[in-house]
Structure 1
Amino acid sequence: MADEDRISALHDDLLLRILSKIPTKDAVTTMVLSKRWGLVWTMVPKLVYKDTRKEGDKSVWCLLDKSLQLHKAPVLKSLHIQVERQFSDDADVGKCVSYAVDHNVRELALYLPTQPKILLLPSNVYTSKTLVKLTLSCRTLVVDVPSLACLPSLQTLALLNVVYKDENSHVKLLANCPALRHLEVLRNLVDNVTRFIVKVPSLKSFGYFHSQHKTAARSLVLDSPGLRDITLSDPHGEDSIQNMPHLDYAHVIHFVPYPLDDKFLRSFSSVTILCLSLRNVECCSAIKFSRLRQFTLHLCSFDDFMCSLEPLLLFLHNSPILKVLEIKYNVAICSNGVPLSWNKPSSVPGCLLSHLEIFEWEEFGARRQETAFVAYILANTKCLKTARFSPRYNLNEKEKEKMMVLLKSMYRASASSELLRLPN
């Protein structure tokens, strides 16, 4: 029959799975379909509330408050609240969060805009026995950790542009997360912390993002030897990072012209995959990377700062088992590109003779120094399987074709290697 209601005939468990995959506001509206639907949505274990500027003036908080009053699920798997506009004083964030914690929530995410008044989390958040994942994002949300804090099940924590009550608040929070494995920190200039200390033995991955500011003396102190994955954006010269012997992947972004401290980068010497975003590669040329298999170098040119490629060969000498070398030469649209200086070395790095298999250069401009460097790599890499190039953005099609003809004419030590042009 055309009007037969087959969905309502489905088992409650299946209906709950369906409703859990749609926004909560849509799940709530199903209560008008029938009395049975009105009961089913109240048992949904995953609640997602989003209020964007595109959705008009109706506040998500009214829906959230009413739906929580009707909600009957004994266990709440997740509560996700994302609001883009400032909300009125009658929006009770603490009440909603307390409800979730009281119902054994496993995942809690708050993405809130900056408010005229500070926001505080209810104290029961810091003593939740069930929280596994916690995400806090709000420039006026203050992390104030009580003395009896304990989050024994928390494995993933994201602190995004939050504020801390004092210098010790984040230390106290991390110290009471014995199972923490993944930590992401996005700092702002008024977060009330000078030295951000991370000492978490259980930590496996760490992301730290902090915009530099000349008037802000900020630093990171990292002592988590179990780390396997780390991303650091704009680390400062005063940062202190202890050795990470089990590190698999590291991405370090640093756009200050002067070299990074040698001691800082030595902390990454055991990594197997390394990605560096720098203006000068000189800072890593004297460090032994005995386990490194893949290296990506982002060379960034925004001004007239000269970048030398010679230290890159010293780097290759210190990376004996490197298999993949990628160079990404990012040039500002307003710039013609800073020259890359280059002189042929006296000896060939061992990784070129016995290990390197993939070589890639993005934004290749075919200028004299670049061409000489590439010719050296191709002529001395005996195990090369693939060489890939993408031309600079400002080259016309004729210049791009000429570039590929030049590359294909170069001698290659590995006769079976393939030379390809990357799309751009």
Structure 2
Amino acid sequence: MPRIDRISALHDDLLVNILSQVPTKDAVTTMVLSKRWALVWTMVPKLEYEDTSKEGGKNLWRLVDKSLQLHKAPVLESMHIQAERQFTDDADVGKCVSYAVDHNVREISLIIPSFILPSQPKILLLPSNFYTSKTLVNLTLSCSALVVDVPSLACFPLLQTLALLNVVFNDESSHARLLANCPALSYLHVIRYYSDNVTRFIVKVPSLKSFTYTDNHERYSAMPLVLDSPGLQHLSIFDYGDLGSIQNMPHLETAYVGHLVPQPNDKFLRSFSSVGSLHLRLMDVECFSAINFPRLMKFKLHLFKPSFSELRPGYSEYCSLEPLMLFLHNSPILKVLTISYGVGLYYEDLPLSWNQQRSVPGCLLAHLEIFVWDKFGGRRRQERECVEYILANSKCLKTATVLPRCSYRLEEKEKMVEDIKSLYRVSTSSQLITHSDSTNPGRATT
């Protein structure tokens, strides 16, 4: 019985939609199937070029050049280019971006390798028409040789999502001009390159709803972030230096802050007072002991101690758990508390302060439902007393999870688990979990 080519009988619009779901390299190869297929791929509105081969990206850029010459779709929805090995020059990139903008592109993603041979330095520049795109909605730029040079007349009226990953700016104010001309921007992701020509990174975007920021500059260097976006709802910051100025964020719902500096002050955290869910990764918790968090319902604290090789002048080896209790007093409706006490083995004998509290925090008496202490160090009496205090005073507790550090020997862990089980819990209906797999028989108790 002869085979029937049912796919070729489909309407062109349906075939184009099918080819839009595969990488452009695969779509182009369909032209050899028959005359019927020869030109179908040229109408595909999504161009996706990705090269992960060990041979490099020379073939990739040849494919990009040839396919753009034959491409006939009047409107381009998206262009995605990802090369891992072979570097290219600005003529290739400029041609691609210019073509996309001229065809009313809505999404551009350029992920180009940053490796540059010292003997062949290259600088990538974007074409002038790029900075006045009236249709661009989503933009990702990733390449440390890409220089973002924003003219005074730049304008991206529809841009909503922007990712600037390890790019270089032409001058101190280029990034500010770019952001100032994105009136619809709602999501911003920035990874700072160590030599990106910017000292103070200013983010002043009234429309911004979500911001992710990572500073890769040398640890403890003074490269401040200045953030003034009162509409923010979600914020994630990982920073080794000066957070500079962070203005009030009354609508903030979730925040992650990894601020790995010795003895941070509380100036930046005061702007987080209205947050509902907060995750802090700090070296010292003293900075948030005097701040009120009236809306906070979920809190995770990761106390981080650097290795001895990372210690800097001014860093204190002394650690205190007392600010944590002050924090609980200032978080009246807290329901979820997670503590990850990430100190290395070398720090287990360092001084640790813990004193019985005169009054019980209101959140323990009336709201706390979930309590987690990860990497519990039962060798330290103060850690045990802190856990014991929380279990003995959390009247609404539903689940308590206390997980010993994985570095401990099995016998020591088992002894620690039995000790944890013996602690008094005022909430008699609460479940106690002492193993990462709560379904393991004998590891969970009520």
User: What is the CA distance between 1:311 and its match in structure 2?
Assistant: 0.5
What CA distance in whole angstroms lies between the structure 1 residues aligned with 2:253 and 2:349?
Answer: 33
Which residue number in structure 2 is paired with residue 136 of structure 1?
141
Choose which of 268, 275, 289 in structure 2 pairs with 1:271: 275
Q: Does 2:111 correspond to 1:99?
A: no
Which residue number in structure 2 is paired with residue 231 of structure 1?
236
Query: In the alignment, is the contact (CA less than 8 A) between 1:340 and 1:369 conserved in 2?
Result: yes
Deviations 1:132-183 (A, max 9, x none): 0111111111111122211000001111111111111111111111101111
User: What is the CA distance between 1:83 and its match in structure 2?
Assistant: 1.1
Which residue number in structure 2 is paired with residue 393 of structure 1?
406
User: What is the CA distance between 1:403 and its match in structure 2?
Assistant: 2.2
What CA distance in whole angstroms lies between the structure 2 residues aligned with 1:334 and 1:352?
Answer: 32
Q: Superposition pairs for residues 367-406 of structure 1, below 5 Å?
A: 367=379, 368-406=381-419
What SS does structure 2 have at the residue aligned with 1:404?
helix
User: What is the CA distance between 1:240 and its match in structure 2?
Assistant: 0.4
Query: In the alignment, is the contact (CA less than 8 A) between 1:74 and 1:103 conserved in 2?
Result: yes
Q: 1:39 to 1:205 in 2, by over 3 A?
A: same
- Between the aligned residues of both structures, percent identity stands at 67
What SS does structure 2 have at the residue aligned with 1:22?
coil
Choose which of 185, 188, 209 in structure 2 pairs with 1:183: 188
What CA distance in whole angstroms lies between the structure 2 residues aligned with 1:333 and 1:92?
Answer: 52
Q: Does 2:87 correspond to 1:80?
A: no
Q: Which amino acid aligns with 2:357?
A: P
User: What is the CA distance between 1:122 and its match in structure 2?
Assistant: 0.5
Instruction: With the length of structure 1 as denominator, give the TM-score of the two structures.
Output: 0.94
Which residue number in structure 2 is paired with residue 22 of structure 1?
22
What CA distance in whole angstroms lies between the structure 2 residues aligned with 1:35 and 1:288?
Answer: 71
Deviations 1:214-257 (A, max 9, x none): 68531111111000111111163360011000000111101222
Q: Which amino acid aligns with 1:6?
A: R
Choose which of 347, 351, 359 in structure 1 pairs with 2:371: 359
User: What is the CA distance between 1:388 and its match in structure 2?
Assistant: 1.4
User: What is the CA distance between 1:58 and its match in structure 2?
Assistant: 4.3
Q: 1:342 to 1:295 in 2, by over 3 A?
A: same
Query: In the alignment, is the contact (CA less than 8 A) between 1:361 and 1:389 conserved in 2?
Result: yes
What SS does structure 2 have at the residue aligned with 1:250?
strand
User: What is the CA distance between 1:336 and its match in structure 2?
Assistant: 5.5
Q: Which amino acid aligns with 1:236?
A: G
Query: In the alignment, is the contact (CA less than 8 A) between 1:133 and 1:156 conserved in 2?
Result: yes
Q: Which amino acid aligns with 1:76?
A: L
Moved more, 53-62 or 100-109: 53-62
Q: 1:193 to 1:418 in 2, by over 3 A?
A: same
Q: Does 2:310 correspond to 1:298?
A: no
Deviations 1:343-376 (A, max 9, x none): 2111110000000000011111222221111111
Which residue number in structure 2 is paired with residue 319 of structure 1?
331
Q: 1:107 to 1:332 in 2, by over 3 A?
A: farther
What CA distance in whole angstroms lies between the structure 2 residues aligned with 1:318 and 1:335?
Answer: 29
Which residue number in structure 2 is paired with residue 60 of structure 1?
60
Query: In the alignment, is the contact (CA less than 8 A) between 1:331 and 1:337 conserved in 2?
Result: no
Which residue number in structure 2 is paired with residue 4 of structure 1?
4
Q: Does 2:252 correspond to 1:247?
A: yes
What SS does structure 1 have at the residue aligned with 2:38?
helix
- Unmatched 5+ residue regions in structure 1? none
Moved more, 69-78 or 325-334: 325-334
Which residue number in structure 2 is paired with residue 307 of structure 1?
319
Q: 1:394 to 1:303 in 2, by over 3 A?
A: same
What CA distance in whole angstroms lies between the structure 2 residues aligned with 1:322 and 1:375?
Answer: 18
Query: In the alignment, is the contact (CA less than 8 A) between 2:56 and 2:85 conserved in 1?
Result: no
Q: 1:396 to 1:12 in 2, by over 3 A?
A: farther
User: What is the CA distance between 1:103 and its match in structure 2?
Assistant: 0.7
Q: 1:334 to 1:366 in 2, by over 3 A?
A: closer
Choose which of 277, 281, 285 in structure 1 pairs with 2:285: 281
Paired residues in the alignment total 423
Q: Which amino acid aligns with 1:189?
A: Y
Moved more, 245-254 or 226-235: 226-235
What CA distance in whole angstroms lies between the structure 2 residues aligned with 1:362 and 1:215?
Answer: 27
Q: Superposition pairs for residues 188-227 of structure 1, below 5 Å?
A: 188-213=193-218, 216-227=221-232
What CA distance in whole angstroms lies between the structure 1 residues aligned with 2:108 and 2:68?
Answer: 15
Q: Which amino acid aligns with 2:305?
A: S
What CA distance in whole angstroms lies between the structure 2 residues aligned with 1:54 and 1:86?
Answer: 10
Query: In the alignment, is the contact (CA less than 8 A) between 1:207 and 1:231 conserved in 2?
Result: yes
Deviations 1:289-338 (A, max 9, x none): 00000000011122472321111000000000000001112244776585
What CA distance in whole angstroms lies between the structure 1 residues aligned with 2:62 and 2:144?
Answer: 23
What SS does structure 1 have at the residue aligned with 2:272?
coil
Q: 1:90 to 1:268 in 2, by over 3 A?
A: closer
What CA distance in whole angstroms lies between the structure 2 residues aligned with 1:362 and 1:17?
Answer: 49
Choose which of 131, 150, 156 in structure 2 pairs with 1:151: 156
Moved more, 25-34 or 8-17: 8-17
What CA distance in whole angstroms lies between the structure 1 residues aligned with 2:246 and 2:204?
Answer: 10
Query: In the alignment, is the contact (CA less than 8 A) between 2:240 and 2:261 conserved in 1?
Result: no
Choose which of 145, 165, 168 in structure 1 pairs with 2:170: 165
Which residue number in structure 1 is paired with residue 313 of structure 2?
none
What CA distance in whole angstroms lies between the structure 2 residues aligned with 1:337 and 1:294?
Answer: 30
Q: 1:340 to 1:107 in 2, by over 3 A?
A: farther
User: What is the CA distance between 1:55 and its match in structure 2?
Assistant: 5.2
What CA distance in whole angstroms lies between the structure 1 residues aligned with 2:193 and 2:88?
Answer: 24
What CA distance in whole angstroms lies between the structure 2 residues aligned with 1:177 and 1:61?
Answer: 30
What CA distance in whole angstroms lies between the structure 1 residues aligned with 2:20 and 2:213?
Answer: 32
